[in-house]
């Protein structure tokens, strides 16, 4: 079961910090919900720079990022 990080409504750097905390917990996959393009890109870049695979899906006005090892 995926670990869920709901970062909707939060401004950067909060979504990135919450995602880093989830990554440190080590329970994959991690689903991150964000509602801005800036948060989507910042979380994606951080996860990819850390060596993880990231899948991004737009759901209406929001985005779901799935992070896998």
Q: What is the pLDDT of residue 20?
A: 98
Strand order in the sheet with 53-59: 3-6, 30-34, 62-68, 53-59
pLDDT confidence band for 1 (50 / 70 / 90): confident
Rounded Cα–Cα distance for residues 41 and 64 (Å): 12
Question: Under CATH, what is the fold of the domain 3-68?
Answer: Translation Initiation Factor IF3 (3.30.110)
Q: What tokens does 12 get?
A: 């950067």
pLDDT, average across residues 37-61: 98
Q: What is the pLDDT of residue 18?
A: 98
């Amino acid at each position: 079961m995926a670990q869920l990080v709901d970062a909707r409504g939060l401004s950067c750097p909060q979504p990135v910090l919450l995602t880093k905390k989830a990554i440190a917990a080590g329970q994959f996959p991690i689903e991150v919900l964000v509602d801005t393009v800036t948060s989507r890109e910042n979380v994606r870049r951080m996860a990819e720079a850390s060596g993880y695979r990231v899948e991004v899906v737009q759901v209406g006005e929001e985005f779901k990022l799935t992070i896998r090892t």
